[in-house]
Amino acid sequence: MTSIHSICVFCSSSNSVDSEFQNVATDLGRRMGRQGIGLVYGGAGIGLMGCVARGVHAEGGKVLGVLPEFFRKKDIEYLDADELIVTRDMRERKAAMDARSDAFIALPGGIGTLEEAMEILSMRQLKLTRKPLVFINTRDYYRSLMDLLREMVDLRFAKPETLELCAVVPDPQSALDYICDYAPKELPGKWL
């Protein structure tokens, strides 16, 4: 069992998504706040990002936003963040989020969310991190991604153990339970 102080959440900044996705993001934030788990995230106040941040704050939790400088010009930052780190670029942003978090959750999102989660999955495969990665599969959003990972294994582009590098769960409480109970397994390396 791991001691979890903060979780990095990757998710959409779109305000256009269905309210079901927004409700799940808010629920995740509230549950994190109630459990005393701080949020580390991309620093925006819009979309699912804003929902999860406001959810954490609604339950008295701490919010750390990490925003690249060029996003500040777009006036999308979450001004109520307890701490806001401004980075030079996206790569520095991801490194800062990784350094400040104990685990990762991916809510549904777009290309940026997918890119962030895939980098963590790759780091897990290369044994550069042992921090858990969980996908919350609202409305079966990540089914196609998991099908693709299984196809990679079937076609021998990846080892079967690749499927054990992350978890896919139906809801926020399952994600938090997985992370709080997480005990890293020793898996073979990429080339062994």
Angle made by CA atoms 26, 1, 57, in degrees to the nearest 5: 25
Distance separating alpha carbons of residues 44 and 189, to the nearest angstrom = 36
pLDDT digits (tens, 9 = 90+) for 89-99: 999 999 999 99
pTM as predicted: 0.95
pLDDT digits (tens, 9 = 90+) for 154-172: 999 999 999 999 999 999 9
pLDDT digits (tens, 9 = 90+) for 8-42: 999 999 999 999 999 999 999 999 999 999 999 99
Structure tokens at 78: 């979450």
Q: Which bin fits 140, alpha (ψ -120 to 50), beta or left (φ > 0)?
A: left
Q: Which domains does the chain have, with CATH numbers?
A: 6-180 (3.40.50.450)
Query: For all residues of the chain together, what is the average pLDDT?
Result: 94
